[in-house]
């Protein structure tokens, strides 16, 4: 019987563990190994009521909502990482305003205690069979599933980038990885003169405002340290606009003009020569045009990003670009009614931010409960997202908007204007809200607060109605 179970770590633990056989939901036996009071299951197959893929902001918050409702061990979370990072803080770390230690906690401390954490990576989803396979060879059967796998950052897609990031004193940095984020402030402190170049790739990214936030912070740093006169600051973005919402874009263009920041649209980073300190950009509106060579002293790179590989390996659940294919209103999968999606791994036409995840988590929770009761989902997501656009060491523009790119502001003030108050909301209040409220399953966005502060607030409408109005 033990050979039939194929439990991967039984042999190495048998000498020091107490082994129990217990009936499983699969009408066979699991092996439960109890060591030092901690029970872990190391079998090749298991079954759960709800499977959550991902232990980031979406996975943790949605698991925290469902764990008390479904009961102990009825929620399985698949997440390979030992550490959970509050990624919205990385911009502040890059500007020297926070430390990396402020942005991380052990994954075991963040996940709800009543979930079954499988520390592994999903390899493929088999939606017709209601199971997933993992890289270590496990099979996890589910009744319902929520995919919250985030975006994959890929530094290898730009030739010379990885080499540059790993080269001491190269001046190349990136706020998009815990491995590299601390290099940004070091590069700013080491700067003497020359070009500071900031990039935005020709792919979806986590928080579309973040690539320019560090540009504004760096420019402010230069003024504070008396180095601005020796610097040329360039923002090279592959996007056709500085920002997608005109209300906030107008304010950002004014900041760039006033502070002498050069903005080049439709300019995509394609290669770096670290030995020569030259970055090469292609023109997306004129592909026949020769690449532009831009020398740099500091180069902050926002790397290309894309959906997790397992989604591309699961064509029945993703769209042609590899993102989870869900209904933009209900967040339910378009073809498999027992699957929902949340966050960056989905094809929702809104900015990929933690604020969007918070708003989506409430919709997913309400609609999934209806699905579990054989009812149709009724809650509608209006595309709400938010991007706190930090413009320096004490100012912030708080962009909030919906699917139709219309402002959906929470505070009774003009959030398109730089504000010290909103800066401290971003810097001090939001981390507390994230760690102690959102990840505990108690925050689904500021909609209720917005209704209280804006009595003329209009009810959310389905995306089709918004886009046709």
Active site members: 207, 387
CA angle 441-443-445, nearest 5°?
Answer: 145
**DSSP 3-state assignment of 277?**
coil
For residues 124 and 131, is the Cβ–Cβ distance under 8 A?
A: no
Q: How many CA atoms does the CB half-sphere of 303 hold within 13 Å?
A: 24
C-alpha 323/C-alpha 150 separation (Å) is: 10
Helices within 166-227 (DSSP H only): 182-190, 210-224
Which residue from 166, 410, 189, 375 is spatially nearest to 272, judged by alpha carbons? Answer: 166
Q: What share of the chain is helix, strand, coil (3-state, %, to 5)?
A: 30, 25, 40
Q: Retrieve residue 374's tokens.
A: 């054989």
- 180: Cβ contacts below 8 Å, ≥ 6 apart: 165, 173, 174
For the record, the structure tokens of 436 come out as 């102690």
- CB under 8 A, 24+ apart: contacts of 123-130: 123/310, 123/313, 124/310, 124/313, 124/314, 125/310, 125/311, 125/314, 125/316, 125/317, 126/314, 127/314, 127/316, 127/317, 127/333, 127/335, 127/336, 127/339, 128/316, 130/338
The secondary structure of 234-270 as a DSSP string is EEEESSSSS-SSHHHHHHHHHHHHHHTEEEETTEEEE
Residue 214: other Cβ atoms inside 10 A:
27
What's the full length of the chain, in residues? 469
* Alpha-carbon separation of residue 409 from 179, 227, 445, 446, 463 (angstroms): 34, 36, 12, 9, 18
What phi and psi values does residue 110 have, to the nearest 5 degrees?
A: -95, -40
Contact 379, 445 (CB under 8 A): no
Write the CB contacts of 369 (distance below 8 Å, at least 6 apart in sequence): 69
- How many CB atoms within 10 Å of residue 49? 17
């Amino acid at each position: 019987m033990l050979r039939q179970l194929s439990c991967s770590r039984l042999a190495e633990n048998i000498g020091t563990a107490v082994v129990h056989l217990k009936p499983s939901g699969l009408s066979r036996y699991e092996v439960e190994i109890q060591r030092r009071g901690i029970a872990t299951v190391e079998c090749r197959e298991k079954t759960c009521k709800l499977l959550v893929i991902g232990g980031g902001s979406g996975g943790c918050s949605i698991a925290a909502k469902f764990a008390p409702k479904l009961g102990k061990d009825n929620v399985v979370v698949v997440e390979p990482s030992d550490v959970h990072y509050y990624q919205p803080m990385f911009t502040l770390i890059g500007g020297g305003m926070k430390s990396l230690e402020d942005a991380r906690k052990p994954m075991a401390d963040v996940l709800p205690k009543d979930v079954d954490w499988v520390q592994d990576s999903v390899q493929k989803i088999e939606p017709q069979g209601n199971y997933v396979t993992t890289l270590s060879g496990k099979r996890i059967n589910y009744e319902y599933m929520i995919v919250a796998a985030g975006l994959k950052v890929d530094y290898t897609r730009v030739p010379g980038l990885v080499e540059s990031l790993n080269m001491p004193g190269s001046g190349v940095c990136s706020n998009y990885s815990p491995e590299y984020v601390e290099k940004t402030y070091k590069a700013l402190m080491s700067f003497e003169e020359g070009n500071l170049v900031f990039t935005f790739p020709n792919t979806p990214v986590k928080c579309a405002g973040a690539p320019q936030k560090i540009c504004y912070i760096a420019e402010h740093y230069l003024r504070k340290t008396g180095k601005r006169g020796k610097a040329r600051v360039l923002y090279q973005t592959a996007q056709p606009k500085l920002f997608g919402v005109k209300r906030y874009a107008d304010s950002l263009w004014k900041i760039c003009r006033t502070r002498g920041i050069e903005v080049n649209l439709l300019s995509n980073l394609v290669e770096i020569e670290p030995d020569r300190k030259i970055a090469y950009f292609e023109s997306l509106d004129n592909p026949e045009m020769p690449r532009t060579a831009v020398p740099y002293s500091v180069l902050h790179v926002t790397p290309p990003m894309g959906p997790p590989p397992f989604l591309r390996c699961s064509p029945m659940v993703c769209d042609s670009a590899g993102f989870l294919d869900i209904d933009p209103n209900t967040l339910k999968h378009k073809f498999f009614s027992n699957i929902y999606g949340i966050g960056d791994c989905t094809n929702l036409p809104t900015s990929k931010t933690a604020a969007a995840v918070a708003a989506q988590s409430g919709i997913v929770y309400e609609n999934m409960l209806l699905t579990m009761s054989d009812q149709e989902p009724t809650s509608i997501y209006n595309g709400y997202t938010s991007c706190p656009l930090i413009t320096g060491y004490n100012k912030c523009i708080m962009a909030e908007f919906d699917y139709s790119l219309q402002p959906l502001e929470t505070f009774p003030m003009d959030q398109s204007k730089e504000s010290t108050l909103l800066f401290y909301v971003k810097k001090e209040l939001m981390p507390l809200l994230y760690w102690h409220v959102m990840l505990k399953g108690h925050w689904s966005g500021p909609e209720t607060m917005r209704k209280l502060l804006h009595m003329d607030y209009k009810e959310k409408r389905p995306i089709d109605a918004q886009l046709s109005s």
